[in-house]
Amino acid sequence: MSTSIVNVSRPAVRRHTLARSLRGGLKGGEYTWALAFVVPYIAVFLTFVVYPVVYGLWMGSEAQLYRELFADPIYQNTVVNTVLYLALGVNVKMFLALLLSGFFMRPGWWMKALLLIFILPWAVPQISTFISIHWMLNGEWGFVNNVLYKFLHVEGPSWLNDRWSALGAVIVSHIWKWTPFWTLILLAGRMAIPLEIRDTAKVDGATGLSGFVHITFPLLANLYLICTLLSTIFLLGDFNAVTFVSGGGPANQGHVLATLGIRNAFDIAQPRLGVAAVMSALPMVIPLVIVLMRKLRTAEVQL
């Protein structure tokens, strides 16, 4: 008889414990207000984050899609373009940002004014910037070819009618657009280095290149790595530069994975194949995200 009583009472105890754990230390109206704030956030998260991700995974879950995708010559060119886009776009951009952050550390009001002018490309909207670059590179009456003809009497090439020159134009456009942003981030990191460390390094003779190699860069290494990882993740999903500068041309030879997904989904009306093209970037994205999260989790409060 006592055993049956214990067995019946256990679920009630468990329900009471679960309810208490969900409430935490909130009572009465506090719990109601907490629900009022949390439930809309959960609904938005499920609707605009969880559902699109799950639906996208379902759309790109068929193995036949990837067999068709990998056999497509356009996809093969796209993978090469994406690797070059990442390798050059990220590394050149971050290296320039590191150098320019040191340049803008100089004192003086004129340096601040120059920094304000320098960040204008990043502040201008992307679409208008890339469309302007597209028309500047027009092979017949673009600004670049007109300048070449007027001052050098040289007929400029059709920049966007060649795969490599079109891809190069996209990479240069991306670097020009986003270098100011990462320069500001690294400049803030440099300014956060304590003055005592700089003064001590100067006393010990660590100035110029020696000070940068032995003092500045080791302190910026953690920030530089995180910025590089973030920039790579952002660039994998970026389609604006390719879409508005080269349009993925010529003859679909200038696509990256992000723009190829759009082309497959909308231009040739195969949304599942478009999702598969984008999903094929996951083997590159997932390791980057894991490394980034571990770096953020293990990093101490330092640069």
pLDDT tens-digit readout, 182-192 = 999 999 999 98
Query: With 90 as the cut, is the pLDDT of residue 7 above it?
Result: no
Tally the residues of the chain: 303
Residue 15 has pLDDT above 90, yes or no: no
Structural contact between residues 166 and 172, judged by C-beta atoms closer than 8 angstroms: no
pLDDT (mean) for 193-203: 75
Mean pLDDT of 228-254: 93
Cis peptide before 287 (omega within 30 of 0): no
Summarised one tens digit per residue, pLDDT across range 126-148 is 999 999 999 999 988 899 999 99
Q: Which residues contact 74 (CB under 8 A, 6 or more apart)?
A: 252, 253, 255, 260
Q: Where are the alpha helices (DSSP H) in 24-125?
A: 29-45, 51-59, 63-70, 73-103, 109-118, 120-123
The CA distance from 140 to 1, in Å, is 96
Note the pTM of the prediction, 2 decimals: 0.84
Q: Which percentage of the chain shows pLDDT scores above 90? A: 57
Compute the distance between CA of residue 65 and CA of residue 165 in angstroms, rounded to an integer: 31
Q: Helix, strand, coil proportions of the chain in percent (round to 5)?
A: 80, 0, 20
The answer to whether 248 and 260 have CB atoms below 8 angstroms apart is yes
- Chain segment 44-57, per-residue pLDDT in tens: 999 998 998 899 88
